[in-house]
C-alpha cells in the first residue's frame, strides 16, 4: 500500500528488464557458438521480503528468479547454462545508504538501523554481511568452465539468513 505504480514500475525496470534485454541481445550469440553462461543476480528478499519500502524490489527479484528458471529450460538444450545468485545482506555503499535512510526516518543512529534490518531478516548466523568480492567469486565460478555441469540452479550467499525448510 505504501508504494505507487511508479515505484513498482521502477523496480521492474531496474531489477528484471535489464536482464531480459541483455539476454535477448547476447543469448543468440551464445546459441550460435553452442555454449555460454548467464548468471543473474536476484536476492534473498524474493523469499524473505522486508516490509513496505522493499516489497516491489522483492517482487521484481522473484520475477527475475522465475524468468531465469524458464530461460534455463529454453537455453540449456542449446548449450547455454543459466544460473542465479541470490545474495543476502551485502556490505556495500547501497546497504550503508539504506541504513542511513532508516536512521533518518526513525530518528535513530546507524547501529539502531542495522539492528532493525538484522531483526527483520531474523539475524545472520554467520554474524556478518557478505563482502561484494565474495558474491563476485561465486558469480565468476558459475560463469566459468569449472561449473560446466551446473545449470538451472539458484545459489544463496546470505551467511545462513534464510532458514532451512
Active site residue 57: yes
Contacts 24+ apart (CB under 8 A), 119-122: 120/50, 120/51, 121/48, 121/50, 121/88, 121/89, 121/161, 122/48, 122/161, 122/163
The catalytic position among 23, 42, 57, 65 is: 57
Which sequence positions are flagged as catalytic? Answer: 57
Amino acid at each position: 500500500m505504501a508504494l505507487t505504480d511508479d515505484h513498482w514500475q521502477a523496480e521492474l525496470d531496474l531489477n528484471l528488464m535489464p536482464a531480459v534485454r541483455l539476454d535477448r541481445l547476447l543469448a543468440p550469440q551464445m546459441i550460435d557458438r553452442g555454449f555460454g553462461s548467464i548468471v543473474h543476480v536476484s536476492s534473498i528478499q524474493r523469499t524473505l521480503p522486508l516490509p513496505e519500502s522493499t516489497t516491489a524490489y522483492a517482487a521484481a527479484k522473484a520475477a527475475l528468479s522465475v524468468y531465469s528458471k524458464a530461460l534455463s529450460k529454453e537455453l540449456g538444450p542449446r548449450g547455454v547454462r543459466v544460473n542465479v545468485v541470490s545474495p543476502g545482506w551485502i556490505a556495500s555503499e547501497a546497504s550503508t545508504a539504506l541504513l542511513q535512510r532508516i536512521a533518518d526516518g526513525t530518528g535513530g543512529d546507524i547501529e539502531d538501523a542495522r539492528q532493525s534490518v538484522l531483526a527483520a531478516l531474523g539475524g545472520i548466523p554467520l554474524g556478518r554481511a557478505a563482502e561484494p568480492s565474495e558474491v563476485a567469486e561465486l558469480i565468476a565460478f558459475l560463469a566459468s568452465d569449472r561449473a560446466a555441469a551446473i545449470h538451472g540452479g539458484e545459489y544463496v550467499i546470505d551467511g545462513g539468513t534464510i532458514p532451512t525448510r
